[in-house]
Amino acid sequence: MAINWSKQKILFELRQRGLNAATVAAKARISRYTVYGGMERPYPKVNDLIAEALGVPRQIIWPQFYDADGRS
């Protein structure tokens, strides 16, 4: 069974792309703390924002939350 990426891995991947939680949050006009929460919990809106920023489908980052088609 695949496991979700850790918060540290997500932050590392964002940094590799010149981004961080604050830039993802600012784009969506939400708190960066909401983005941090979405890194560890199923939160489809935030999970989609992070996945889009990374250019990776959300089911790759959170396989424990989403099936192969990206549904909860």
Kindly give the confidence (pLDDT) of every residue in the chain, 72 residues in length, as a single tens digit, with 9 standing for 90 and above. 799 999 999 999 999 999 999 999 999 999 999 999 999 999 999 999 999 999 999 999 999 999 998 888
Single-letter amino acid code for the residue at 17: R
- pTM for the full predicted model: 0.93
Burial class (CB in 10 A: 0-12, 13-18, 19+), 48: middle
Measured CA to CA, the distance from residue 49 to residue 1 in angstroms comes to 24
